[in-house]
Chain A
C-alpha cells in the first residue's frame, strides 16, 4: 500500500517534535517559583536564627548568589568573605550594578533586609544589627507597585472587635494596646512590615503563606475564610492595616 505524502510528512514532523520534547523532558527540571514573604517581627529571634533566615534570603529571594560568591572571586560582584569585618568599604574594580534590594523586582521587606544584614555581619563580624537599625521606610514600596496595590474598604473599628471577639485573634497575637498571648507573632507593627496582599492571604491561607521564623508551624487555624463573613474579614484586614 502506498502511504500518502501527507501521512509521511506528518509522521516525520511529529517524530522531530517528539524528539525535541523528549530531550527537554530528560534534562533537570526546575520551576521558578515566586518567593515567599518572610516576617520576623514580633518574634523573639536570636542572632543565630536571624543569621539562618538571612542566609536563606541570600540564596533565594535576595538572588545575591547570582552575582556574589563567598570565598570565591566573583565575575560580576565582590567576594563577600569577611564582609562583616569590612562593611562600609567599597570594593573597587566592579561596575556599580547592585540593584536596590528593597525595591522591585527583588523587593525584600524590612524583616528580610534585617535578616540579610545579620547574615552578612556573621561573615567575619559581630551580629548586632537590630530591627531599629533598618530604616522604617525600607521595603515600603512593597512588591508589585501601584498597579497591584490593594485598597481595603473595611471599618477598622469593627475589625478591632472581630480581632478581640469572633476572630479570637488575641488568643495568640498581641496588637498594639490589645494584649495577647505570645503563641504567634506580635502584630503591633504588622502594617509597616507587611503588604496588604500578604496580610489578606495570611488570614485566609496561613499554611500557604509560610510560618514566621521561631514560631511553630500549623497553629493558625485554616478556616477563617468560612468562619468570618466577607464584611468581618474586610474589617479585620482594615484594622490590621492601622497597626504601624
Chain B
C-alpha cells in the first residue's frame, strides 16, 4: 500500500473519529437533563443487540490487545538491536511493527463500530456512562491521535531515523507505547466502573470528579492484567505468524529466519505468561474486596465451571510452551545433557494440570447440590480447593521457568570459577521456593479461608524471588561461556510450529472466555448495583452458548488477521532487498548464536 493510500485511510479514520466526537456532546447534554426521549434499547436485526455488541467488542479487544502488546516488545527488541549492533533484531522489530501497523486501522474501525452499537442499541446505558465519563472521552481521543501519529512516524521513519539518529527512533517507539498504554488505562476505567462502580451516590450520579469513578476497585488490577496479557497475546500471534511462514518457507534460510522469529515470539509470550496468574490473583482479590457476593458468585456460583475450562486452557498453554522448548532443544548441540530432566518436568506439569482442572463442585445448581447432600466430591473435592490449585500453579510456573533455564544453557558450558557455588545456590533457590509453595499449600487446609487467602502472597513471593535470584546468577555465570555448537535454526521439527499455532489459538480463545467472565459477573446489571439490564438479553447465557460465540468470533479474528497480514505483505512483495530491512540470513545449521 502506498503512502498516499495510507493517508486516505488515515483521513477516513479521522473523519469517523470527529463525527463521533461531534455527536457526543448531544448525548452528554441529554444525560445532564435527565430527559432522554430515546428508548432504553433497540433491537439489532437478526442477531440481537447483545450478540452484536459481544462479537464486535471481542474482535475490537483482540485487535487492540495485539496493537498495544506487540509494540511493547518491538521497541525492546529494537533497542537490543541498536545497542548490540545485531541487524537481526532491527529486522525483527520492523517486522513486528509492520504486523501491528497493518492491524491498526482495523482496530480503530472496530472501536468506532462498537461505539455506534452502544449509542444506537443501548442508548440509555450509553447516556448514563457519558454522564459519568464524558471528560475522559476527550482524553481518549487526544491520546488516540497522539498514538496514531507517533506510530506512523515510528514506522515510516525507520530508515530516516537510523544511524546516529537511532535514539530518536527508539524514543518514538517508547512514546507510542506510553500513549498506547494510556489509551488502555482510560478505556479500562469505563469497563471496570461497570463491574465495581465508585464515586457515585445512591442514585447513580457522580458525587465528585470523574477521577473517583475511574479509580474504582478493579481498575488498577485490570490495567496490570491486561497490559501483561497483551504482551502474551502479541507474542503468541507473532509466533503463530512466524510458524505459518516457517511451514510455507521455500528455502532453508527463510525457514531459519522464521524459526528464530517464532522462538522469540514464544519466549516473549512465555516470559510474560509466567507472571500473568499473579496479576489474576490480584484482580480476584480486588473483586472480593469490592463485593464478597460478586466474588463468591464468580468463583463458586454459576460461573464455577468456567474456571475449570480456564484451567484446562492454561494447562494446555503451560504444556504447549514447555513442549515447544523441549523440541527446540533438539536443534541445539549439547542439549542432550538436559534430556533427563524432561520426564520429571512433564510429570509435574501433567499432575499440576490435572489438579488445577479438578472442579471444586461437581454440581451447578442448588437443587442438585441438595439432592446429592453436598456440593463437593468426597475425594476429588480435596484437590478442587484453592490451596491445591495455588500450589500446583506455582509449581507449574517454577517448572516452566526451569525449562527455559535449561533451554537457555543448552549449548553453553560456563567457565566461571564460581560455577559450582552458583549452581548450588540456583538449585537451592528452586527447592526452597517449591518447599514454601508446598508448605503453605498444605497448611492452607488447616486454617480459615481469610487466613488462607494471605498464604497465596507468600507462595507468589517465593516463586518470584526464586526466578529473580536464579536469573541474577545465571546471566553473569553464562557470560563468555564455552559453546558446544551453534543453534541449527530452521531444523526444528515442523510439528513444533503447530504447537505455536495451538498456543495462539488457545490464548485468543482464553481471552474471549475471560471477557465473558468479566462481563458475566455483573449478571443482570449493566453497571453492577446501579443500572439494571432490563433488556430481553438480561440473562447471562450458559457456558456452551458462550463458548460457541467465542469460537466463531475467534475464527473471524484469525480470518481477518490472515487477510490483513496478506494485505500488509503485498506492499513488500518484490522489494524486500530494496527496502533496507531485508532479513539477515540465519541459515540452517550455521546461524549465529541467539
Contacts and interface: CB of A to CB of B under 8 A. Distances in A.
B554 interface: yes
Interface string B167-181: 000000000000000
A133 interface: no
B10 to A, nearest CB: 30
Contacts of B205: 146
A212 to B, nearest CB: 21
Contact of B558 (A13, A95, A197): A13
Given A30-B364, A31-B539, A66-B293, A95 B531 contact: no
Nearest to B566: A6
Interface stretch (B271-279, B305-313, B428-436, B585-593): B305-313
Interface string B469-481: 0000000000000
Interface string B509-524: 1000000000010011
A24 B543 contact: yes
Contacts of B498: 9, 12
B316 to A, nearest CB: 9
Contacts of B308: 27
B204 A146 contact: yes
Interface string B555-577: 10010001000000000000000
A9 B291 CA distance: 44
Interface stretch (A39-47, A99-107, A121-129): A99-107
A147 B302 contact: no
A148 interface: yes
Contact of A146 (B203, B313, B525, B546): B203
Contact of A145 (B203, B294, B502, B523): B203
A5 B247 contact: yes
A20 B317 CA distance: 13
Interface of B is mostly: helix
Contacts of B292: 67, 76, 97, 99
Contacts of A28: 305, 363-365, 368
A99 B368 CA distance: 26
B293 A99 contact: yes
Contacts of A17: 505, 509, 551, 554-555
B534 A144 contact: yes
Interface in A32-76: 32-35, 59, 63, 65-67, 75-76
A21 B523 contact: no
Which bracket fits the contact residues of B?
A: 35 or more
B542 A30 contact: yes
Contact of B525 (A67, A105, A141): A105
Given A25-B547, A144-B531, A59 B366 contact: yes
B542 A148 contact: no
B541 interface: yes
A79 B544 CA distance: 35
A14 B555 contact: yes
B539 A105 contact: no
Nearest to B288: A97
A61 B98 CA distance: 52
Interface in A136-175: 141, 143-149
A119 to B, nearest CB: 15
Nearest to A98: B292
A16 B528 CA distance: 34
Nearest to B374: A72
B547 A24 contact: yes
Given A9-B244, A32-B520, A59-B366, A25 B297 contact: no
A12 B554 contact: no
Contact of A75 (B128, B309, B364, B448): B448
B548 interface: yes
B484 interface: no
Contacts of A75: 448-449
B247 A9 contact: yes
A66 B301 contact: yes
Given A20-B551, A28-B364, A33 B309 contact: no
Contacts of B368: 28
B327 interface: no
B6 interface: no
Given A104-B532, A144-B531, 10 more contacts: A6-B248, A16-B505, A20-B506, A20-B547, A24-B544, A27-B543, A34-B524, A103-B529, A105-B291, A105-B294
22 contacts: A12-B502, A16-B509, A17-B505, A20-B313, A20-B509, A21-B544, A21-B550, A25-B547, A27-B308, A27-B309, A27-B544, A30-B364, A31-B302, A31-B541, A34-B524, A34-B533, A66-B296, A67-B292, A76-B449, A141-B202, A147-B203, A148-B534
Interface of A: 5-6, 8-9, 12-14, 16-18, 20-21, 23-25, 27-35, 59, 63, 65-67, 75-76, 95, 97, 99, 103-106, 141, 143-149, 197
Q: Closest 5 CB pairs between A and B? A: A24-B547, A146-B203, A144-B532, A34-B524, A25-B544
